[in-house]
Amino acid sequence: MGSRIVVLISGSGSNMEALVEASRRGDVPGEVVAVVADRDCLGLGIADGYDIETVKLEPDGFASREEWNAALRDRIATFDPDLVVSAGFMRILSPTFVTAFEGRLINLHPSLLPAFPGAHAVREALEARVKETGTTVHFIDNEVDHGPIIAQERVEIEADDTEESLHERIKEREHELLPRICKDLLDGKVRLPQ
């Protein structure tokens, strides 16, 4: 049996879908067994279309961020994941969660970290008038958009780029990069540095 992957999303789920497709083609030695979101979003419907179990766990239903993180940890643990992938998940994960999945918890971020961490990376790259940005896959630690970098892909910024057009070109790279890195992780070619 292949490895078990859980994907965390908050939006369209395009990277989750790219990972599901790669897995079903046999390019990734694992299966997306669950998609977890913090809100109603397009990606949950896409996951349903693939017959993947979905979970919606909204922070509003909990007394504190810490309680929500503990509930999220416990729910994801029921899937016995070999890999947990944050792909457009717009929540900060607490040490309670991060520690539980250490070494098998990665994030996809639309910039060349450490440049432009946070929720508005694409907009900030445009505002800074840099010539290029890109995408980063990294292990998650207890700081925002931080942790050991696994891989990066560069994307040139064009003169007429808008936030939307630039983000779409970054996503194209992400759709190739994320499955490749998941494969390397599940094959044991990449490990969290000690």
Contact 179, 19 (CB under 8 A): yes
Nearest-angstrom CA–CA distance, 7 and 24: 15
Contact 4, 80 (CB under 8 A): yes
Q: Active-site residues: which are they?
A: 109
User: In 3D, which of 103, 54, 104 has the Cα closest to residue 75?
Assistant: 54
Judged on CB neighbours under 10 Å (0-12, 13-18, 19+), 149 is middle
Q: List Cβ neighbours of 55 (8 Å cut-off, separation of 6 or more).
A: 34, 35, 36, 37, 75
Nearest-angstrom CA–CA distance, 46 and 16: 9
